[in-house]
Amino acid sequence: MVSFEIRAAVTGDEEQLLYVARHLNSVNLPNNRDAIHEIVAESHRSFNGAIQDPRLRQYVFVLVDLTKGDKGMIVGTSMIIAQLGRRGVPYIFFDVLDEEKYSATIDKHFHHTVLRIGYSYNGPTEIGGLVLMPEYRQGPERLGTMISYVRFLYMAARSALFQDEILAELMPPLEPDGTSHLWEALGRKFTDMSYADADLLSKKNKEFIKGLFPEGTIYASLLPEDAQRVIGKVGAQTRGVEKLLRRVGFRYAHRVDPFDGGPHFTARMDEISLVSDTRRAKAGRPFTPSPSDPKGILAIERPDAPYFRAVAASLRDEGELGMAIAVDAWKHLELQPRSPIWVLPMP
Angle separating helix axes 143-157 and 239-248, nearest 10 degrees: 40
Query: For residues 78 and 116, what is the distance between their CA atoms, to the nearest angstrom?
Result: 30
The pLDDT assigned to 205 comes to 82
Torsion of CA 167, 171, 173, 176, to 10 degrees: 170
Of 131, 129, 127, which Cα lies nearest the Cα of 144?
A: 131
What does DSSP assign to residue 236? G
The pLDDT assigned to 27 comes to 67
The pLDDT assigned to 25 comes to 65
Q: What is the pTM of this model?
A: 0.92
Every domain of the chain and the residues it spans: 1-82+124-163+293-313+327-347, 85-122+165-272
**Tens digits of per-residue pLDDT, 287-342?**
999 989 999 999 999 999 999 999 999 999 999 999 999 999 999 999 999 999 99
Cα–Cα separations (whole angstroms), residue 158 to 161, 185, 299: 6, 42, 13
Residues of the chain predicted below pLDDT 70? 24-25, 27
In angstroms and rounded to an integer, the radius of gyration of the C-alpha atoms of the chain is: 22
3-state SS class at 90: coil
Main-chain dihedrals φ then ψ at residue 18, nearest 5 degrees: -65, -40
Torsion of CA 14, 157, 248, 95, to 10 degrees: -70
Write out 278-340 in H/E/C secondary structure.
Answer: CEEEEEEEEECCCCCCCEEEEEEECCCCCCEEEEEEEEEECHHHCEEEEHHHHHHCCCCCCCE
Query: For residues 77 and 41, what is the distance between their CA atoms, to the nearest angstrom?
Result: 15
The pLDDT assigned to 22 comes to 82
Of 302, 9, 262, which Cα lies nearest the Cα of 147?
A: 9
**Tens digits of per-residue pLDDT, 302-311?**
999 999 999 9
Torsion of CA 279, 168, 313, 75, to 10 degrees: -150
The pLDDT assigned to 84 comes to 92
**Tens digits of per-residue pLDDT, 67-103?**
998 889 999 999 999 999 887 788 999 999 999 999 9
Query: For residues 113 and 128, what is the distance between their CA atoms, to the nearest angstrom?
Result: 27
Q: Which CATH number fits domain 1-82+124-163+293-313+327-347: 3.40.190.10, 3.40.630.30, 3.30.465.10, 3.30.830.10?
A: 3.40.630.30
